[in-house]
Amino acid sequence: MSTQQFQQRVFPIKGVVQHYTWGGFGFLPRLLADPNPEGKPFAEYWLGAHPNCPSTLADGGRCLDAVLSENPDVLLGAGTHARFGHLPFLLKLLDVRQMLSIQVHPNKQEAAAGFARENAAGIPLKAPHRNYRDDNHKPEIMIALSEFWLLHGFKPEAELRATLRSVPELASLLPLFERGLYQGLYEHVMHLDQGEVDRRLRPLAERIGPLYRRGALDKASPDFWAARALETFPGNGSIDRGLFSIYFFNLLRLSPGEGIFQDAGLPHAYLEGQNVELMANSDNVLRAGLTDKHMDVPELLRLVRFEATQPNILRPAEPPCATYPAPVPEFAIEACRLQAGTVRAASFPTASILVVTEGGGSATDGTDTWALEPATALYAAPGAALQLSATEELQFFTARVPGV
């Protein structure tokens, strides 16, 4: 396909599946109509121009990042190209079967400094002990497609005190919290040697493990997720210190359509469910537990925001379409649900990606027409306009660059 053909404003793209071990075996294969004969876990479906795993054009196989770079003022927009130099967001569909690591992301300044520092130290970009794989921050917003459970920031003070009092094995930590609040408490447990972690948490494991195995724990209790973590991360006989965080952080259940924004410095972890996730184009993660991957505790603690978090759950406005606010310049997201028989005009003033998650219909720009079905994804350049028709109830999400 020639560069000239990319003067068109809309074209279908295909994403890239990430087969991380925590992924599910049903949701994404069904969505993508992939029989998955090898039985691989399907964790994430990436749509965007991330240089590590860019989407491709559905009809030509060329990488989206290369195509955008050929005619950026047209395909990205002059403002986006001048400000970011590339498509600044990454859109994902996730299926969380097993708990993800507790993690924190750097802000823009921290990411740039960390990336330069590790480059100067000669650490290869793909080294397992590398913290900063690019120079960008990674704010993110997610919208639940199913019941979705996650950890999200430190509990308010009164709630955390109540938790420490109510969990016998953690009661000895209450004086630490009273003296040093969030920073004193968290730094203490993150710096404990492994023997002390095991000594403190073994009685907890022995109490909640049998309850979990016989189905006696409720998901609304941190005991449920701590017991699941013990099953998921056996640790060769040692106990993952991430169990402390399960009790320290807000435990949230989102219903389908509800969303939440997570900015730099906020500790969080996805626990279970399917969602749409939109983030700045970065892969910078500092881990704090529930993982067998590299953990750099001093760097992690330098980034954490030691403060109470009052979760701001984003609930959709009246249908058919709702925008979820994200206070960053890289991305915005809109969710739409059209009833069968609905025709809706859609305009795209900035670079956008539309992905269908349910239903069927069609889209036309007046010249070309594309079928809309689950996993259909369309890249829309600035100035594009579509007419969308739903032949059955149609759900889709549109990620875009905010006005620039």
User: Looking at the annotation, which residues are catalytic?
Assistant: 287
Please count the residues of the chain.
404
Q: Residues near 140 by Cβ (< 8 Å), separated by ≥ 6?
A: 105, 261, 262, 277, 278, 279, 280
Q: Token digits for 198?
A: 């095991």
Give which of 304, 355, 387 is closest to 58, Cα–Cα.
355
H/E segment holding residue 385: strand 384-400
Q: Residues near 288 by Cβ (< 8 Å), separated by ≥ 6?
A: 101, 102, 103, 104, 190, 242, 245, 267, 295, 300, 304
CB 282 within 8 A of CB 163: no
Residue whose structure tokens are 């991380």: 20
Q: Looking at this protein, which amino acid is placed at residue 269?
A: A
Q: Looking at this protein, which amino acid is placed at residue 258?
A: E
Q: Residues near 54 by Cβ (< 8 Å), separated by ≥ 6?
A: 16, 48, 63, 64, 65, 66
CA separation for the pair 225, 204 (Å, rounded) = 12
Q: Token digits for 347?
A: 């305009």
CA separation for the pair 381, 11 (Å, rounded) = 9
Sort strands 352-364 and 268-280 into parallel, antiparallel or unpaired.
unpaired
CA separation for the pair 117, 82 (Å, rounded) = 26
Neighbours of 347 (CB within 10 A): 10
Q: Token digits for 5?
A: 């053909």
Residue 153 φ then ψ, to 5°:
70, 170
Residue 99 φ then ψ, to 5°:
-60, 140
